[in-house]
């Protein structure tokens, strides 16, 4: 579950060991064929699909260090009138109802596999099964939906909202590897290797994105193809296993969505389904994407504008960012290739021009970076994910959708500043001009353009920025520039980060009193108040890590609270049975507060989203970071 995306934790292990995604084998897996299979069926693959037994076992292969923690090493697939998925059959509601009743009467449901025909994904009878401790579902007939983006989207969104993370989802049958990343992204955990047998028996050669006849296919240099005679089955199995291995790698590095965007271009149906997901069901994905990470976010296509983590950033900027109330002038800058922006050559030149206008005026300035696909990045938030870690090809062209989305967010952000602010536009190009025009028409702002005719880094534009800023600031008659309540850039960054991370208002509570710091970027920076360590600024991610006592101060503002069932915490993990309720704003990898009766017992790192914490009945939810230390003589 520490992997990103939606891979599930099987309840049978009661651990955070990642079993998914996996490839289930129809033959016993030997050490010599280590394809990374998570399990195998205790039954030889039959010559004909119709010869499958009515009941057989799925057996797991666990690492030795986990074998003692496994409650069950095998599942039983029984009483299945409609498995496998590629057997032609029409199932009536009465037949499905009869099957559910039969299934619920079976012993040891925790080791039983439940088969769900896709036509009954929204059946109320499913609630009866979900109330048991059955944790392995087979979703049959899915391939028949591969030509219907709306139904395919609705099915996965419905299942995602109903199935808890400790239930694994297996899609059987000949599913092409090119579909794997999209299906894992949608919530599927396991596939099987029947496609390899199916194609090999018919004389077809499999690649990661296509199928070829043996008489004419791309050259392959794997050991199976180099053998004499070539082992076509071994090759086809290897291709499937390699794709699952690639997906696991992208999951663990937090880049599954990047792989999905790359893979779906080989299928118009999957590409359109992904767009349909983003446009109609983005909230389903928003609540489960981590924001506290430091992996590269590669934006390669127009669909990146609607990526969940991008949408989430725009949402938090709109809802949680509160600009400095001292601001009198807002300056708009373009983005840069180097991140964070302030370390780039262009933004260093911008900063130099601002200082030339007068250092005493700096507290009255606020900077916003206009960029796609993030739209608007306040300078205070440039070191967070994704602004600090995204990469996008620069064409200079802004689509109508990009202009509309960016204009909307910029209007909302500028509306938070004090009235009568002055806007200085130091961007260049038609797309930027269209955005500024819409914003100025909507808000009726005074706008100065300082790089309209030349690029922002030209000597003329930089000189124009300094002189215009000096003229504007002088006309405002600012007098209290040396007041003790002026906020330094780093303090403004801390306040904005706390609001973005924990909830609006948190920053002012934590950092309203005088603080001192120890350390310097790029190392972590410790933050003290009255000689007490209250927080650490994590330079690698740009986020904060709080001491439990500091977390207590912002408890009323916090959106990352987990109500814990006990008065004390033992061990280093928070498990599902101890969770009374978790905030639905919690995302994977968030620092959260473990709370009992209004008291913060510890801070912890969330393994899964809060919405999923509230569904789980087993498994680990969070890893404890810092526990509250009781003073001598203090009662619990």
pLDDT in tens, 285-297: 777 777 888 777 7
Please state, for a pLDDT cut of 70, what percent of the chain lies above it: 84
Would the pLDDT of 10 be above 80?
Answer: no
Task: Write the DSSP symbol of residue 332.
Answer: E
Residue 347's pLDDT band, with cuts at 50, 70 and 90, is very high
- Both tokens of residue 107? 């012993």
pLDDT of residue 468: 94
Q: Which residues of 308-341 are buried (b: 16+ CB within 10 A; e: fewer)?
A: bbbbbbbebbeebbbbbebbbbbbbbbbbeebbb
Q: Which of 21-35, 65-79, 142-156 comes out lowest in average pLDDT?
A: 21-35
What pLDDT digit, counting tens, does each position of 493-545 carry?
A: 999 999 999 999 999 999 988 899 999 888 999 999 988 999 999 999 999 99
Contact present, 547 and 534 (Cβ < 8 Å): yes
For residues 116 and 134, give the distance between their C-alpha atoms in angstroms, rounded to a whole number. 13
Q: Does residue 568 carry a pLDDT above 80? A: yes
Looking at residue 413, its pLDDT comes to 97
**pLDDT higher for 98 or 297?**
98
pLDDT band, very low/low/confident/very high, at 84 (cuts 50, 70, 90): low
Cβ–Cβ under 8 Å, residues 141 and 119: yes
Q: What is the pLDDT of residue 281?
A: 82
**Coil, strand or helix at 535:** strand
Section 331-346 average pLDDT: 94
Buried b (16+ CB within 10 A) or exposed e, 76-86: bbbbbebbbbe
The torsion angles phi and psi of 545, rounded to 5 degrees, stand at -125, 120
Considering only residues 509 and 99, tell me which one the structure prediction assigns the higher pLDDT.
509
Radius of gyration, CA atoms only, the chain: 28
Query: If DSSP codes are grouped into helix, strand and coil, which group holds residue 115?
Result: strand
Q: CA–CA separation, 267 vs 597, rounded Å?
A: 52
H/E element holding 262? helix 256-263
Angle between helices 430-443 and 400-414 (to 10 degrees): 40
Q: What is the pLDDT of residue 462?
A: 96
pLDDT of 148: 84
Q: Name the average pLDDT for the chain.
A: 84
308 or 417, which is more confident? 417
Of 429, 465, 469, 423, nearest to 442 (Cα)? Answer: 423
Q: For residue 314, what pLDDT is reported?
A: 95
Q: Say whether pLDDT at 619 is over 70.
A: yes
Q: Is-contact 55 76, C-beta < 8 A?
A: yes
Q: What is the DSSP letter of 112?
A: B
DSSP state letters, 489-546: HHHHHHHHHHHHHH-TTHHHHHHSS--EEE--TTS-EEEEETTEEEEEEETTTTEEEE
Token output for 312: 């989430």
Report the residue count for the chain: 636
Task: Name the residue with tokens 């004909």.
Answer: 48
Q: Which residues contact 570 (CB under 8 A, 6 or more apart)?
A: none
Give the single-character DSSP code of 97: H
Tokens of 118: 């896709």
Residue 307 DSSP class: -
User: Other CB atoms closer than 10 Å to residue 443's CB: what's the count?
Assistant: 15
- Whether the CB-CB separation of 524 and 536 falls below 8 Å is answered with yes
Nearest alpha-carbon partner for 188 in 143, 227, 150, 226: 143
Asked if the model's pLDDT at residue 82 lies above 60, the reply is no
- The pLDDT, as a whole number, for residue 141 is 83
Q: Tell me the per-residue pLDDT of 139-185, one tens digit each, with 9 for 90 and over.
A: 888 888 888 888 888 898 888 888 887 788 888 888 899 999 999 88
Whole-number percent of the chain with pLDDT over 90: 44
CB atoms within 10 A of CB 455: 13
Contact (Cβ atoms closer than 8 angstroms) between residue 212 and residue 205: yes
Task: Please give the Cα distance from 629 to 525 (Å, whole number).
Answer: 22
In 3D space, the residue among 515, 535, 487 whose CA is nearest the CA of residue 380 turns out to be 487
Lowest mean pLDDT among 55-64, 234-243, 447-456: 55-64
Local structure of residue 597 (DSSP, 8 states): T
Task: Examine the pLDDT at 216 and tell me if it is beyond 80.
Answer: yes
At 543 the three-state DSSP class reads strand
Name the pLDDT band for 8 (thresholds 50, 70, 90): very low
Helices (H), 264-399: 268-280, 282-286, 308-320, 345-357
Q: What SS3 state is found at 622?
A: strand
For the ranges 158-167, 359-368, 557-566, 573-582, the maximum mean pLDDT occurs at: 557-566
Q: Give the pLDDT confidence score for residue 478 in this predicted structure.
A: 72
| Look-up of token digits 């800058």 | 333
The conformational region for residue 173 under phi > 0 = left, psi -120 to 50 = alpha, else beta, is left
Residues pairing with 60 in the sheet: 39
**pLDDT given for residue 517 in this prediction:** 93
Res 361: pLDDT: 83
Residue ranges with strand state E in 342-416: 365-371, 375-378, 390-391
Residue with tokens 């899609």: 171
C-beta of residue 169 within 8 angstroms of C-beta of residue 623 = no
Mean pLDDT for 621-634 is 79
What pLDDT sits at residue 69? 56
On the question of pLDDT at 15 being above 70, the answer is no
Give the mean pLDDT of 321-349.
94
């Amino acid at each position: 579950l520490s992997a990103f995306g939606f891979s599930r934790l099987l309840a049978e292990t009661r651990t955070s060991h990642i079993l998914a995604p996996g490839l289930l084998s129809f033959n016993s897996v030997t050490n010599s064929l280590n394809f990374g299979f998570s399990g195998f069926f205790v039954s030889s693959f039959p010559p004909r699909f119709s010869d499958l037994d009515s009941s057989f076992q799925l057996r797991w292969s666990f690492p030795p260090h986990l074998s003692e923690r496994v409650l069950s090493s095998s599942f039983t697939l029984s009483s299945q009138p409609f498995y496998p998925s590629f057997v032609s059959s029409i199932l009536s509601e009465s037949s499905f109802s009869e099957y559910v009743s039969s299934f619920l009467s079976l012993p040891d449901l925790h080791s039983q596999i439940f088969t769900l025909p896709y036509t009954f994904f929204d059946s109320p009878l499913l609630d009866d099964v979900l109330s048991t401790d059955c944790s392995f579902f087979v979703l049959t007939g899915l391939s028949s939906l591969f030509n219907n983006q709306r139904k395919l989207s609705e099915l996965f969104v419905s299942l995602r909202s109903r199935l808890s993370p400790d239930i694994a989802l297996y899609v059987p049958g000949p599913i092409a590897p090119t579909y794997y990343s999209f299906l894992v992204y949608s919530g599927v955990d396991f596939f099987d290797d029947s496609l390899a047998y199916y194609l090999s028996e018919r004389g077809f050669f499999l690649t990661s994105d296509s199928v070829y006849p043996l008489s004419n296919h791309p050259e392959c240099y794997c050991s199976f193809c180099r053998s004499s005679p070539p082992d076509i089955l071994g090759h086809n199995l290897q291709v499937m296993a390699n794709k699952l291995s690639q997906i696991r790698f992208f999951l663990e590095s937090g880049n599954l969505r990047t792989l999905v965007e790359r893979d779906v271009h080989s299928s118009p149906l999957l590409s359109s389904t992904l767009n349909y997901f983003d446009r109609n069901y983005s909230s389903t994905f928003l609540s489960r994407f981590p924001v506290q990470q430091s992996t590269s976010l590669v934006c390669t296509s127009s669909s990146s504008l609607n990526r969940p983590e991008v949408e989430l950033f725009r949402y938090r900027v709109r809802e949680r960012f509160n600009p400095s109330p001292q601001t009198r002038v807002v300056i708009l800058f373009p983005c840069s290739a180097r991140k964070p922006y302030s370390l780039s050559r262009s933004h260093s030149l911008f900063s130099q021009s601002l200082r030339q206008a007068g250092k005493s005026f700096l507290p009255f300035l606020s900077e916003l970076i206009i960029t796609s696909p993030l739209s608007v990045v306040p300078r205070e938030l440039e070191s967070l994910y994704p602004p600090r870690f995204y990469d996008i090809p620069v064409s200079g062209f802004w689509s109508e959708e990009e202009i509309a989305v960016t204009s909307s967010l910029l209007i909302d952000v500028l509306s938070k500043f004090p009235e009568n602010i002055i806007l200085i536009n130091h961007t260049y190009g038609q797309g930027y001009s269209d955005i500024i025009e819409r914003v100025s028409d909507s808000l009726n702002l005074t706008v100065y353009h300082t790089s309209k005719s030349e690029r922002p880094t030209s000597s003329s534009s930089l000189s124009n920025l300094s002189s215009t800023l000096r003229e504007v600031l002088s006309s405002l008659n600012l007098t209290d520039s040396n007041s003790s309540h002026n906020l330094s850039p780093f303090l403004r960054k801390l306040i904005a980060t706390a609001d973005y991370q924990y909830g609006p208002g948190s920053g002012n509570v934590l950092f309203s009193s005088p603080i001192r710091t120890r350390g310097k970027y790029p190392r972590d920076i410790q933050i003290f108040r009255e000689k007490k360590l209250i927080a650490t600024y994590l330079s690698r991610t740009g986020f904060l890590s709080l001491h439990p006592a500091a977390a207590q101060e912002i408890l009323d503002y916090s959106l990352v609270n987990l109500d814990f069932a006990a008065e004390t915490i033992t061990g280093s993990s928070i498990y599902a049975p101890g969770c009374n309720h978790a905030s639905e704003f919690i995302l994977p990898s968030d620092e959260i507060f473990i709370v009992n009766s209004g008291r913060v017992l510890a801070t912890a790192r969330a393994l899964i989203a809060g919405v999923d914490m509230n569904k789980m009945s087993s498994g680990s939810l969070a890893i404890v970071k810092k526990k509250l230390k009781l003073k001598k003589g203090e009662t619990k």
